[in-house]
Chains A and B, each alone.
Chain A
Amino acid sequence: MIRATLDLCRDVGFQLELLGQVGLRLRSAFHRRGLIADQFFQSGLKVFHVVLFVGLFVGMIVALQTGIELSRFGQEDQIGTIVSLSMCREMGPFITAIILAATVGSALAAELGTMAVNEELTALEVMSIDKVNLLVMPRVLGLAVMCPVLAIVCDTIGILGGALISESQLGVDTTMYFDTVVEALAPVGNLLGLPKDIYTGLFKALVFGTVIGTISCAEGLRARGGAVGVGECTRRAVRNSIIATIIANYFLTWAFFG
């Protein structure tokens, strides 16, 4: 138990240190634009269709679940409010984060892990090449930027999914639905012209992307012992990313809405 706690502290310490190093190297982001653009592609476009598909169904599920309850009280015309708020505040960022952890995070942990066990990272070290700058910074930045971008996609498609269900299953017409969506998202506290429910969600997504990128890279860099070690690091990367995302989600929700 004490041992596990110490291990946890050491892991988190290593991850925070790595994140700090990434922060210090953001200065060279312009110099690394080619590598970063590639990571935007890896973290963004390659999972775009997954986000569309999952987001659509999540929106439909939320609409269906809550719609049935609402209609018992004759309040089904409020469905747009519920779907849009739950997508933007919670579902969009979180679902996107889970998809990214499982696809992009695991892939980059395996990639860096393979480099670690093949001595490629050692080779970089003896050539005095900064692996954080070359490998980690572009990957963390890629996830940190693409997570909010994909979260917007997820929010949007989820709200559209909700519209489909409202129209077909709940008899709420589309105009009415979108009126309530706009009404729900518009009012409270604007930042850069964005409604609070949207920008808090995007901020969450930014944090999730950073967390997933940092943890996945940290696990990859520490991989030891051949193919088994790579598998092990991938498993830990996905598991720890999801756990850390959920914990971060709780605290961010508490900070914004608590």
Chain B
Amino acid sequence: MTAPAGEDVLIRFEGVVKAFGEKRVLNGLDLDVHRGETVVVMGPSGTGKSTLLRHVIGLLRPDAGRVLVDGNDMATIRPRELRALRERMGYVFQDAALLAWMNVADNLALPLRETTDLSEREIERRVQEKLMLVHVPGSDERFPSELSGGMRKRVGLARALITDPEIVLYDEPTAGLDPEIAMSINLLMRELRERTGTTAMVVTHDIGTARTVADRIAFLEAGRVHFQAPPDEFFTSDDPRLVRFLGHQGSRA
């Protein structure tokens, strides 16, 4: 299926509606993410930020409207194409979602072992490369439960990157981390983007994250993008709703 979307729009939400039972979480949401761009999505808890990300990777389908990823309509995409598309995406889960019964190296190797024909030697090489990239060397043999929260998130990030995805989706990559570790993750996201030119959507409450990685920030409320702008403009906006949100955030930080 071809999209009417402009050439460099990689992810497009068009009037997306999604309800869980009675509750309309997304309500006619429009948003474009361009190739190579990092869009940060902010908003109060429970406004549907994770729901938004889940649409991009085909875990949820919109009730109305369309989600287009590289021209594929995610509501009608066939399993085989969805598979191919997912191979080009990485999803960083809020709590890392590593398999508890596998050590770090096996967790990273799993997607390669399961979905590719790469040799064990090549897999090992890539695992080490990604562990270096996220600055967690030498923890191959450790199990997720033996890692600190920050390390778990980094390993989760490494796993999302193991297939060298073009699109990376981050769900609250710094939530629950102390400021120092949070900043190191922010820098990691930026470094990655600069190094490989990945397109990214980052859901976060963390103003530091938004400032560090965003090309553009979208503020979500009542199931729509209430306001979007580049970081400078976003943080100096006098939109009353935004001021209230950021003020509240500021007092917490």
- Interface-side segment among B81-89, B183-191, B235-243: B81-89
Cross-chain contact A127 with B59 (CB below 8 angstroms): no
Cross-chain contact A126 with B89 (CB below 8 angstroms): yes
Residues in A with CB closer than 8 Å to B97 are 118-120, 122-123
Known: A126-B57, A126-B59, A129-B115. A118 touches B110 (CB 8 A): no
* Residue count of chain B within 8 Å CB distance of chain A: 20
- Least CB distance from B81 to A in Å reads 12
CA distance A125 to B94 in the complex (A): 16
Known: A114-B100, A118-B97. A123 touches B91 (CB 8 A): yes
Cross-chain contact B98 with A120 (CB below 8 angstroms): yes
Does A64 lie at the interface of the complex (its beta carbon under 8 Å from any beta carbon of B)?
no
Cross-chain contact B100 with A120 (CB below 8 angstroms): yes
Residues in B with CB closer than 8 Å to A129 are 110-111, 114-115
Residues in A with CB closer than 8 Å to B159 are 123
For window 120-176 of chain A, which residues contact chain B by CB distance below 8 Å? 120, 122-123, 125-130, 134
CA distance A119 to B89 in the complex (A): 17
Residues in A with CB closer than 8 Å to B89 are 126
Known: A115-B99, A120-B99, A120-B100. A128 touches B87 (CB 8 A): yes
Residues in A with CB closer than 8 Å to B110 are 127, 129
Closest residue to B115 on the A side, CB-wise? Answer: A128
Most buried by B among A118, A126, A130, A134: A126
Give me the interface of A with B, judged by CB distance under 8 Å: 111, 114-115, 118-120, 122-123, 125-130, 134
Could you name 27 residue pairs across A and B whose Cβ atoms are closer than 8 Å?
A111-B101, A115-B99, A115-B100, A118-B95, A119-B93, A119-B95, A119-B97, A120-B97, A120-B99, A120-B100, A122-B93, A122-B97, A123-B91, A123-B93, A123-B97, A123-B98, A123-B99, A123-B159, A125-B59, A126-B57, A126-B89, A127-B111, A127-B114, A128-B87, A128-B111, A129-B114, A130-B114
